[in-house]
Structure 1
């Protein structure tokens, strides 16, 4: 079912699929500019962390036996009584080959300007088909896969004799999504607020251990500042706008991409969230072994970090992510600022202070 924030259409998917993969994605950017509403689309980054997946089955002469490996293997298991060994016996000498898809996810952004969340994130797969192994090993000396492994495509890893996988055809684009992030964030915020209000209204029985006296209280009454807590995704963009990063004109959508999630649990409770992914391409080392540094040296390293990233107050947002900058380092900077040992711009100090009062991260 199409989501409220997903702007992808059959026309957009067709345009993306019909565009040739070129260096720097120049043809796709031209297609966006001339054939879609995303005329200002810019390339942001690629994510090369996805596993290869089974695609087709070919014979030894590259004739197609099945266009969909998963449908074929399900049919074979059904025909052979669910027996992995029976399927293997039927095809181990057939010389069939399994093709796979090597996926790479590209992020583009159409920035509509104004508010920091006012952009469309375009997610496009680049997929290359290749073949490097036969469907089944010729013998079972290394054992046979379990049925769940067979369904996933782990059929025994019988590699064809060659130094490199053989590419089939040319890479192709496939549209994954066109997400209106402003709509996504608005919807996610409303869902979070409704859920939090409902949780805050839950009534509990509080018992005085000394007197045994009981009273009915709500979660809200037991939690100082309960109604001040806001959804972390909304806070990310608000913090960006308020900080030196936003004030200097840097756009969050060109510095980060957003791995979105839309999950409904078995009870019907729906939750939208995202994890920000940095878009820098330079190798940036984690800020480690700072525990013994004085706060001046620590802040100096954070300033150097900003210079490498190319924007002010970058360390704060990387601290929210948590891989390169740690929350303990952020807390030390706040303490030093409050003690008058270092000077932060007032707007950055206020962002850091609000984070300390109600910490969040990704």
Structure 2
């Protein structure tokens, strides 16, 4: 496969999400996204863990007061003359309820070439809104607006849903282009880039598509001086329960080779044990050291390309 540019606008994905009411699975969304890019194959690589964020405001009769709790609280606080007690009294009198958005992020992958980094990642949130708490806990009223918006000791109530679930487009990442930016900012070779480079030159890269088992996800965090840092991480999407490879005491030669080959077969591609060693805790680094001792003593069960990757790691270890 030669690399081909993915022509898919974010607005098209947004429109697609708005037209679909989520069901028990994501088959309908997947088919609609596929119809937007008939020359490529799109697949759902991962469904993330559940998260939640602040929702809106409703009354006891389920009437919508506001979609955005933060915006409503700040605006109403000003309308109350910046008097917190007035805002509290009003919220209690109206028996207002705060809602929350719960959701999971869906990660879709579109492979655009043969190399590990030649794919695009599409992130779509699947959310639904539920009641969370009374807006004000009368027993422990808030002391400032921040605590009013997100109290430490809320008066929680039984949850009930508002409307139906929805899909919301988050972002699309061309991994190859994104990694070019990351590499420019990285003082040395970024471990995620090295992971992909090692994949491309190993037996794994010759036999298997990396995005079938691993995705590259951008993220941001705040530095110690308050600055926003953009970075990237590798996430394993494999659903197979693979064994832990930790104790290599006394294993060498064919015995060691058999253990690693068995792991590779279960993972579905050659040299898998190496990449699970680089990322995660599935495989101990003792495995690489044991294999290196073997190949240094004329055991030749690794292909030359994998042996070269291993020797480079021994000379300069890294974790992704």
Pair in the same fold by TM > 0.5: yes
From the superposition, tell whether residues 318 and 66 of structure 1 become closer, same or farther in structure 2 (CA, over 3 Å). Answer: same
Answering whether residue 62 of structure 2 is matched by residue 68 of structure 1, we say: no
Answering whether residue 208 of structure 2 is matched by residue 187 of structure 1, we say: no
Shift of 1:65: 1.3
Partner SS, residue 247 of structure 1: helix
Answering whether residue 295 of structure 2 is matched by residue 294 of structure 1, we say: no
**Aligned pairs (5 A) from 1:267-286:** 273-284=231-242, 286=244
Structure 1 contact 136–155 (Cα < 8 Å) conserved: no
Match of residue 177, structure 1, among 159, 162, 171: 171
Partner SS, residue 13 of structure 1: helix
Which segments of 5 or more consecutive residues in structure 2 lack a partner in the other structure?
1-5
Partner SS, residue 316 of structure 1: helix
Aligned pair count reads 314
Could you state the TM-score of these two structures normalised by the residue count of structure 1? 0.75
| Rg (Cα) greater in structure | 1
The RMSD of aligned alpha carbons is 3.3
CA distance in 2, matches of 1:38, 1:101: 35
CA distance in 1, matches of 2:82, 2:173: 41
From the superposition, tell whether residues 186 and 339 of structure 1 become closer, same or farther in structure 2 (CA, over 3 Å). Answer: same
Partner SS, residue 315 of structure 1: helix
Deviation digits for residues 288-318 of structure 1 (CA, Å, limit 9, x no counterpart): 4x26453466655443332332222112112
Shift of 1:173: 0.8
From the superposition, tell whether residues 101 and 347 of structure 1 become closer, same or farther in structure 2 (CA, over 3 Å). Answer: same
Match of residue 312, structure 1, among 270, 295, 317: 270
Match of residue 168, structure 1, among 162, 166, 184: 162
Shift of 1:281: 1.8
Structure 2 contact 124–167 (Cα < 8 Å) conserved: yes
| 1:119 alignment counterpart | 119
Which segments of 5 or more consecutive residues in structure 1 lack a partner in the other structure?
197-228
| 1:31 alignment counterpart | 32
CA distance in 2, matches of 1:156, 1:284: 42
Deviation digits for residues 203-234 of structure 1 (CA, Å, limit 9, x no counterpart): xxxxxxxxxxxxxxxxxxxxxxxxxx633232
From the superposition, tell whether residues 44 and 145 of structure 1 become closer, same or farther in structure 2 (CA, over 3 Å). Answer: farther
| 1:220 alignment counterpart | none
Structure 2 contact 40–111 (Cα < 8 Å) conserved: no
CA distance in 1, matches of 2:317, 2:83: 53
Partner SS, residue 169 of structure 1: strand
| 1:213 alignment counterpart | none
| 1:157 alignment counterpart | 154
Answering whether residue 316 of structure 2 is matched by residue 322 of structure 1, we say: no
Shift of 1:69: 0.4
Answering whether residue 217 of structure 2 is matched by residue 259 of structure 1, we say: yes
Could you state the TM-score of these two structures normalised by the residue count of structure 2? 0.83
| 1:95 alignment counterpart | 95
Partner SS, residue 73 of structure 2: helix
